[in-house]
Amino acid sequence: MSAKVNLLDFDRKSMEAFFVSRGEKAFRATQVIKWIHQLGVTHFDAMTNLSKSLRAWLHEEAEIVIPDIVLEQQSADGTIKWLLRVDDGNSIEMVYIPEANRGTLCVSSQVGCALDCSFCSTAQQGFNRNLSTAEIISQLHIAIRRLSDKLGHDAFGKKRVVSNVVLMGMGEPLLNFNSVVKALNLMLEDNAYGLSKRRVTLSTAGVVPALDRLGEVSDVSLAVSLHAPYNSLRDKLVPLNKKYPIEVLLPACRRYIAGQAHRSVTFEYVMLDGVNDLPKQARDLAKLLRDMPAKINLIPFNPFPGSVYARSSDAAISKFCEILAAQGLTVITRRPRGDDIDAACGQLAGKVVDKTKRLQKKEHVLQFSFQ
């Protein structure tokens, strides 16, 4: 007897194929997607516009499996972090950031991360596996229901509790391409979550071939973890740069937004004291991006146990921002959110059974030279 399929793994196209292959009409996909994603229904018997025979067949062939919530924490600033169990040995984290005019959900795409960026707590946990589409989209499904209960809003009422989604949690989304794209499709699908492509952002360290491929199938907003204005420094902060250096990455960013009017790329730049926050580096960054439709997010470093870095001073961040703005660049300094519950950018850790054995290979104190 074959295992049941998890319907959360299907976007509309693959859901249609599932029904058609079993002799059902394609429109059943739209009905079921609405039940699951818009109405939050996870029991087939409650899907009342399906025939009894179809519901019985779904009971035999399919299931709707959502990760369990292990822990929910709320920061003093209103940020909420959830720890979700995805299998017996692994858990992931997702974060909700409320603001006056939006609610942003930061979603994970992998258990751990394979890229080993030196300033990121997630990367220091090692890597276990990719998340399935079901495990990715379940994060949005769970957050909307939990927040709707807390805040008293209808999940798809006039005031959405989740108005923006960023794939900026644990993992590198472009290294989990197929599952991430199907999850993106559901986020944008009118019969599922109906989010605007401008309100769904994929953040990448710069996996160039996958970025080019993404541009062929999606046009969600793009954020790139840059963190340095030249290769010698970025090689140490973001080791992926050795494979796809800045002179390869930036043209790929241009290709992604080519033909999309009024679109830009957001470049993330974590501010590390004495490492990448010098005035000369700000001028180098301005020169690098001067002809690029770009927004720059300056992110004060969020410390984590074992890190060798310190957050840049407020004065250094302010000066860096001032230099960029004087060169005509759009620049925003991100305010740390949720750092009292380790929910801030770069702090997500979850629980990872590290298949890379990275933690065993690391010295107790990492030493880097940034000359």
Give the helix ranges, DSSP H, for the chain.
Answer: 12-20, 27-33, 52-61, 121-124, 133-151, 177-188, 208-217, 231-237, 246-257, 279-289, 314-326, 358-361
Kindly state the tokens that stand for 99.
């603001």
Tokens 């954020």 sit on residue: 223
How many Å apart are CA 51 and CA 287, to the nearest integer?
63
Kindly state the tokens that stand for 356.
């890379």
Q: Is 249 within 8 Å of 267 (Cβ atoms)?
A: no
Kindly state the tokens that stand for 65.
């499996």
Q: Is 343 within 8 Å of 79 (Cβ atoms)?
A: yes
Catalytic residue among 106, 113, 253, 345: 345
Rounded to an integer, what is the distance from CA 19 to the centroid of its chain?
30
φ/ψ (deg, to 5) at 250: -65, -40
Catalytic residue among 16, 93, 172, 268: 93
Instruction: Respond yes or no: is residue 345 known to be catalytic.
Output: yes
DSSP conformation letters of 80-128: EEEEEE-SSS-EEEEEEEE-SS-EEEE---EEE-SS--TT-HHHHT-EE
Instruction: Respond yes or no: is residue 322 known to be catalytic.
Output: no
Which residues are annotated as catalytic? 93, 345
